[in-house]
């Protein structure tokens, strides 16, 4: 009888435990190793807490993902508890996101880069936690530069000349698939990022200045975009107009490009055991225009936020804090080369051993260029869409930069009511 009662008690305890378990849904990007690492991290939290996680598939394109998020949040849908959001979205989505201030201890908050905490704080509310930080990088083939006696380009003109030289020589040698340069040229948020880097590194500004004034129609910006348009079909394939991050990485990692612009996540993949170019990849700051210009890399990264419409806000917040914590950020840095948002992790010997390039990122992060999301607020998505459409038209030779930026200038000024966003 005693054994029966013990068995019954154990069974009842198990049932009670099962009943107490909740399922938290999270959206994870599938870019590179993001989904794999998000899934393993969230599943570790589930094992630790006795809960379950459900993964919601989202588009790779940041533009398409944002459209899905806006649709779900506008409907106050509880289908996703935890959202992975881009660094430029907190202001746009803030009214739909849980204030995490009460969940985050001050000493934990202080571990993260202050600029990113500030970015994730809207009207005094911490609406997201930093997960990883990004900046645009120039990837290059060390072996090909050495073979052809060239150096890492410091200016865009140098990049074009070096890319053309190596591309032509390799094709004469039988490598007909090689291109000089690949980047993110599809009409989406990634093109906004690339074009901002071209403009800012050549004195062309950042679409909208800090006061809210539309500044996109200027000679330096026009020259930067016309220069980029000249690459298409020469050192960059026509297909680059359809490339996102993964398409450009696929070409580069297959050994079919000399240079690539991409985020740091591509490093681990390019040097994976099965990568054809393992050990032959270098990174550098993106080029600049001239001696008086500065290198410019777009500030990127991802945050984790809890929906205000979640049925389990406390558990969802706990999952966010676990994923954004130091141990998990260290694991992601080692396994996926995702840049931590916790400053002290850049001194971690295991991270630096796995990712030697992280020691080179100080200067890159010192010259980041931010998209005008804070100043344009909930109109940023429209601003970015209008901008990347004008840029894509220019790259596609559907009008030149002079005409396209003049038209864009009129649209943005009307949208801003002359600087009042």
Q: Does residue 243 have a pLDDT over 60?
A: yes
Tell which phi-psi region holds residue 25, choosing left (phi > 0), alpha (psi between -120 and 50) or beta. Answer: beta
CA distance to 28, 43, 83, 332, per residue, from 35 (Å): 6, 12, 13, 11
Q: Which residue has the tokens 């679409």?
A: 207
Q: For residue 112, what are the β-bridge partners? A: 342
16 pLDDT above the threshold of 70? no
Which of 4-8, 42-46, 114-118, 301-305 bottoms out in mean pLDDT, i.e. has the lowest?
A: 4-8
Tens of pLDDT, residue by residue over 324-368, are 999 999 999 999 989 999 988 988 999 999 888 787 776 676 678
Give the pLDDT of residue 61.
83
- Across residues 135-145, what is the average pLDDT? 96
Hey, what domains does the chain have and what are their CATH numbers?
Answer: 20-135+300-361 (3.40.190.10), 137-298+369-416 (3.40.190.10)
Cβ–Cβ contacts within 10 Å for residue 354, how many? 18
> 130's torsion region: left (phi>0), alpha (psi -120 to 50) or beta?
beta
283: closest CA among 131, 420, 153?
Answer: 153
Angle at 134 between CA 267 and CA 43, to 5 degrees: 80
Q: Which helix (H) or strand (E) holds 368?
A: strand 368-369
pLDDT at 255 over 70: yes
* Residue 341 · residue 116 · CB < 8 Å: yes
Q: Which of 151-160, 261-270, 368-377, 382-391 has the lowest mean pLDDT?
A: 368-377
Question: What share of the chain in percent tops pLDDT 70?
Answer: 94
Whether residue 370 contacts residue 380, with contact meaning beta carbons closer than 8 Å, is answered with: no
pLDDT in the model for residue 241: 98
The two three-digit tokens of residue 215, written as one number: 């500044």
What is the rounded average pLDDT for all residues in the chain? 91
Which of 219-228, 251-260, 362-371 comes out lowest in average pLDDT?
Answer: 362-371
Q: Is the predicted pLDDT of residue 18 greater than 90, yes or no?
A: no
The pLDDT of residue 106 is above 90: yes
pLDDT confidence of residue 254: 98
Q: Model pTM greater than 0.85?
A: no
pLDDT of residue 223: 98
For residue 388, what is the enclosing H or E element? helix 380-395
- Structure token pair of residue 67: 């459209």
Does residue 43 contact residue 100 with C-beta atoms inside 8 Å? no
Cα dihedral sign, 385-391-395-401: positive
Whole-angstrom Cα distance, residue 217 to residue 209?
12
For helices 380-395 and 401-416, the axis angle rounded to 10 degrees is 170
- Which contiguous run of DSSP H or E holds residue 35? helix 34-49
Per-residue pLDDT, 167: 98
Alpha carbon distance 100, 314 (integer Å): 10
| Position 375 confidence tier, pLDDT thresholds 50, 70, 90 | confident
Residue 19 has pLDDT above 50, yes or no: no
**Model confidence band, residue 73 (pLDDT cutoffs 50, 70, 90):** very high
Residue with tokens 């005693």: 2
3-state helix, strand, coil in the chain (%, to 5): 50, 15, 30
């Amino acid at each position: 009888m005693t054994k029966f009662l013990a068995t019954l008690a154990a069974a009842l305890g198990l049932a009670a435990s099962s009943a107490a378990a909740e399922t938290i849904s999270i959206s994870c990007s599938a870019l590179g190793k993001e989904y794999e690492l998000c899934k393993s991290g969230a599943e570790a939290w589930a094992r630790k807490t006795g809960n379950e996680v459900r993964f919601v598939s989202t588009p790779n394109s940041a533009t398409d993902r944002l459209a899905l998020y806006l649709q779900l949040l506008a409907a106050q849908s509880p289908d996703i508890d935890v959202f992975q959001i881009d660094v430029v979205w907190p202001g746009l989505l803030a009214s739909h996101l849980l204030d995490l201030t009460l969940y985050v201890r001050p000493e934990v908050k202080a571990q993260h880069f202050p600029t990113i905490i500030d970015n994730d704080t809207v009207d005094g509310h911490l609406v997201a936690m930093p997960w990883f930080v990004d900046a645009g990088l120039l990837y290059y083939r060390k072996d090909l530069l050495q073979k052809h006696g060239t150096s890492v380009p410091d200016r865009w003109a140098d990049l074009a000349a070096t890319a053309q030289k190596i591309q032509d020589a390799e094709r004469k040698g039988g490598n007909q698939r090689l291109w000089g340069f690949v980047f993110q040229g599809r009409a989406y948020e990634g093109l906004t990022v690339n074009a901002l880097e071209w403009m800012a590194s050549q004195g062309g500004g950042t679409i909208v200045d800090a006061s809210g004034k539309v500044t996109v129609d200027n000679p330096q910006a026009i020259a930067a975009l016309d220069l980029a348009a000249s690459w298409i079909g020469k050192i960059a394939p026509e297909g680059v107009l359809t490339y996102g991050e993964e398409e450009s990485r696929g070409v580069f990692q297959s050994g079919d490009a000399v240079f690539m612009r991409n985020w740091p996540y591509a490093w681990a993949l390019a040097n994976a055991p099965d990568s054809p170019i393992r050990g032959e990849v270098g990174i550098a700051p993106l080029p600049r225009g001239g001696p008086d210009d500065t290198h410019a890399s777009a500030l990127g990264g991802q945050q984790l936020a809890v929906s205000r419409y979640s049925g389990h806000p406390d558990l969802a917040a706990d999952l966010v804090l676990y994923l954004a914590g130091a141990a998990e950020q260290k694991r992601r840095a080692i396994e996926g080369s995702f840049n931590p948002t916790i400053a002290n992790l850049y001194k971690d010997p295991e991270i630096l051993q796995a990712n030697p390039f992280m020691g080179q990122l100080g200067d890159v992060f010192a010259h980041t260029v931010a998209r005008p999301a804070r100043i344009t607020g909930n109109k940023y998505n429209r601003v970015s869409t209008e901008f990347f459409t004008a840029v894509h038209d220019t790259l596609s030779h559907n009008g030149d930069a002079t005409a396209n930026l003049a038209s864009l200038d009129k649209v943005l000024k009307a949208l801003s009511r002359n600087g009042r966003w």
